[in-house]
Structure 1
Amino acid sequence: MTVEEKTRSTSKFKLVGAKEVGYNVKQVDQFLDRARAYFLNADITGAAITSHDVRTASFEPARRGYNAQSVDAAMDRIEDEFVLRERELLIKAEGEQAWMMKIGKTASVLRSRLHRPDGERFRRPSRKGVQSYSIADVDLLCRELLTYIEDNGELSVDVVRRAIFSPVKGRNGYEESQVDAFLDRMVELMASIDTATEKQA
């Protein structure tokens, strides 16, 4: 068995073709091993890993790497598990009311931005020519998020996780970093709400 065949037979995920680019295998394996050890309390010396760490983890591109879609789907499931455990730990330590207050506080902060008029929800880049997000695309998602929060609209957290906006230049769009940070908080909130709903079902 060649080295490549051995690697493929022991891989956690499907590997892309020899001429294709996927996620760096070593980086993915190391992160997942750390996350699993921490989740199972086997890693008592390493730094704590949170649902936020899982959500924001990134891996370098590499030839013959892991299929990105497979890894992303697994990371979403792992994030949900971490959210569930964080909820359980907080409830155990401070009671269920503390968890509900946390969700309510986050929702209030996010709602205030969602209520801003179209075209005014996020900053415009200060530098000319820098890439930014289409205002129309971002505002469309924001309106859907507001419906989700205030009217119990049906919107999957995966839609927000996988949101893609058309690129524009400079002040013709919203600043990417601010939009990304907001959506990161939104995913955190939606995952928390989903977890609470599943517990009540």
Structure 2
Amino acid sequence: MTQNEQSGSFRTVGRGRGYHPAAVDQFLSAARESFEMGGGELTASDIRVASFPLVKGGYVIADVDAALGRIEDAFAARQRERVVREGGAEEWVVQAREEAQVILDHLARGRRKKFARTGVLSFGYRVDEVDHVAARIVRFLRDGDELSVEQLRSAAFRMQRHGYREEQVDALLDATIDVILAVR
């Protein structure tokens, strides 16, 4: 982790809302402590799902998100090193392949049927946009096409009535990020 990420010296928004500085600083302090302990309580997945309240004059969201991405990468690399050290590289590859196969099996479902849908009066992720990203994930896992962690981290979907359930889509994106980080 860089000094900027440790000291809480992110830029603040002039006008508008940003991440609550105290919440970000507290989380980053806990992440640093966990990382330095070499096996603390936090994982790469915990870093990925971190969220902070928005306040006037808070930290610039893009700056904090970029730092969190780098920290997540560091935690994932540490986890990979630990598994390789304890069980060997083959175990790590087997785990990554198994996870990739689960994702591919899930995405083999038909067009517009890859995830559960919200009720007809409720909003969820726009189906065609999610299916487009799902197709890119399949091409990455099956054919080796390019797909970066950053592309998945920044994936955003518009909302629609009777759309895909957000929590299911988000969980699959998180699992795919774990696979990409595992094979890096």
Decide: shared fold, TM above 0.5: yes
Cα drift, residue 115 of structure 1: 1.6
**Residue 170 of structure 2 is aligned to residue 180 of structure 1:** yes
Cα drift, residue 22 of structure 1: 0.2
Q: C-alpha root-mean-square deviation of aligned residues, in Å?
A: 1.5
Cα drift, residue 11 of structure 1: 4.3
Corresponding residue number in structure 1 for 2:30: 34
Task: Find 2:48's aligned residue among 51, 55, 62.
Answer: 55
Return the index of the structure with the highest Cα Rg.
1
**Residue 97 of structure 2 is aligned to residue 104 of structure 1:** yes
Q: How many residues align?
A: 178
Corresponding residue number in structure 2 for 1:163: 155
Taking the aligned partners of 1:62 and 1:38, their CA distance within structure 2 comes to: 27
Within-5 A mapping of 1:47-126: 48-125=41-118
Taking the aligned partners of 2:37 and 2:156, their CA distance within structure 1 comes to: 36
What secondary structure sits across from 1:168 in the alignment? strand
Amino acid at match of 1:116: R
What secondary structure sits across from 1:48 in the alignment? coil
Taking the aligned partners of 2:179 and 2:11, their CA distance within structure 1 comes to: 31
Corresponding residue number in structure 2 for 1:12: 9
Taking the aligned partners of 1:78 and 1:177, their CA distance within structure 2 comes to: 23
Q: Which runs of 4+ in 1 moved over 2 A?
A: none
Taking the aligned partners of 2:170 and 2:120, their CA distance within structure 1 comes to: 20
Cα drift, residue 183 of structure 1: 0.9
Amino acid at match of 1:121: K
Give TM-score, length-normalised by structure 1.
0.84
Give TM-score, length-normalised by structure 2.
0.92
